[in-house]
Amino acid sequence: MRILHYWRATVGIVGRELLRFLHQRERFVSALVRPLVWLFVFAAGFRAALGIAIAPPYETYILYEVYITPGLLGMILLFNGMQSSLSMVYDREMGSMRMLMVCPLPRWFLLCSKLIAGTAVGVLQSYAFLGIAWLYDIQAPLMGYVWILPALVLAGMMLGALGLLLSSFIKQLENFAGVMNFVIFPLFFMSTALYPLWKIKESSEVLHTLAQYNPFSQAVELIRFALYEQFNQQALLFTAAAFLLFMGAAIMGYNPSKGMMVKKGGGGD
């Protein structure tokens, strides 16, 4: 009976997130506009300046647009993870998060379900982006679109877990802008999303080290290799380890005895 309860709750939480997503069409469009602008404008503009040499998983010279496509998929998942955490802060401020916390299920399970729900939305957005990229002539091998699914799921879970962790620290919605500047931009720009590691090394050794150990870089590489039907073990292990670390810390953050919620208080009187 307990398993049935857990199953129904997961279906309920994921279903609610998908329903909200369907009802908020502007959210879907805006989630796609950002990476598409990067693809159509930024990548086209920098095509000549940023030539990419042959490096795995690519077997030939590629256009810059082709190179940054996995990075832009990572961008979708990163922003989606952060948006989920934004909605957690909003939900907590507005009280609906409290409704979730009062139901008779363990906190870790509720957080995992929220994470699965957010990731499902991110994966849908990623496939929509891949569809548009296909029409723009950025085409990977057909099986790559199947291989990429587990990579997108793991990357989405890792970035969503980071969002959950951040949401446990943020007391009010206004503080979220700072997190965007201090988390999203450094994660994205100090990664292999826009330029390969060897290119970063040419300009700065420190930046190269930071980019190499940036979990977002590893997630992007996992996606990049999967899209070309290849397996990157290091990226998989690194992304999985980062997911476990962020998720464990997020669960601690929401723990009713020890977490950040206790320190921050519930407000009101």
Partner 1 sequence: MTEIALAVENLSFAYGAKKALDGVSFKVQPGECTILLGPNGAGKSTLFSLITRLYDAREGRIELCGFDLKKQSLRALARLGVVFQQTTLDPDLSVTQNLRYHAALHGIGRKAADKRIQEELERLAMFERRGEKVRQLNGGHKRRVEIARALLHKPSLLLLDEPTVGLDMPSRQAIVSHVHDLVTQQNLAVLWATHLIDEIAADDSLIVLHKGQVKASGKLSEILQTTGWADPGQVFQKLTQGPQA
Cα angle 18, 19, 20; round to 5 = 90
Show the tokens assigned to 157: 């879970």
| CA nearest neighbour of 163 among 107, 219, 111, 214 | 111
Q: How many CB atoms lie within 10 A of CB 137?
A: 9
| Cβ closest to partner 1, residue 85 vs residue 232 | 85
Q: How far is the CB of 89 from partner 1 (least distance, A)?
A: 15
Binding site for partner 1 (CB under 8 A): 1, 4-6, 8-9, 11-13, 15-16, 19-20, 23-24, 94-96, 98-106, 256-257, 259, 261-262, 265-269
| Shortest distance, position 111 Cβ to partner 1, whole Å | 14
Residue 130, classified by CB atoms within 10 Å of its CB into exposed (0-12), middle (13-18) or buried (19+), is: buried
Q: Smaller CB distance to partner 1: residue 171 or 208?
A: 171
- Give, rounded to a whole angstrom, the gap between the first and last alpha carbons of the chain: 39
CB of 95 to partner 1, least distance (A): 4
Count of other CB atoms within 10 angstroms of residue 202: 10
Minimum CB distance to partner 1 smaller for 5 or for 53: 5
The residue (of 12 and 56) whose beta carbon lies closer to partner 1 is: 12
Minimum CB distance to partner 1 smaller for 21 or for 147: 21
Report in angstroms how near the CB of residue 22 gets to partner 1 at its nearest.
9
Residues 76/126, Cβ–Cβ less than 8 Å: yes
Locate all alpha helices (DSSP H) within the chain, ordered by sequence. 2-23, 25-37, 43-46, 64-94, 96-102, 107-135, 144-169, 176-179, 185-189, 197-203, 205-213, 215-227, 233-253, 260-264
In the complex, minimum distance from the CB of residue 255 to partner 1, in angstroms, rounded to a whole number:
9
Pick 107 or 224: Cβ nearer partner 1: 107
CB closer to partner 1 out of 78 and 164: 164
Closest CB 168 distance from partner 1, rounded Å: 12
**Contact call for residues 210 and 199 (beta carbons, < 8 A):** no
- We find the least distance from the C-beta atom of residue 97 to partner 1, in angstroms, to be 8
- Residue pair 28/125 in contact by the 8 Å Cβ criterion: yes
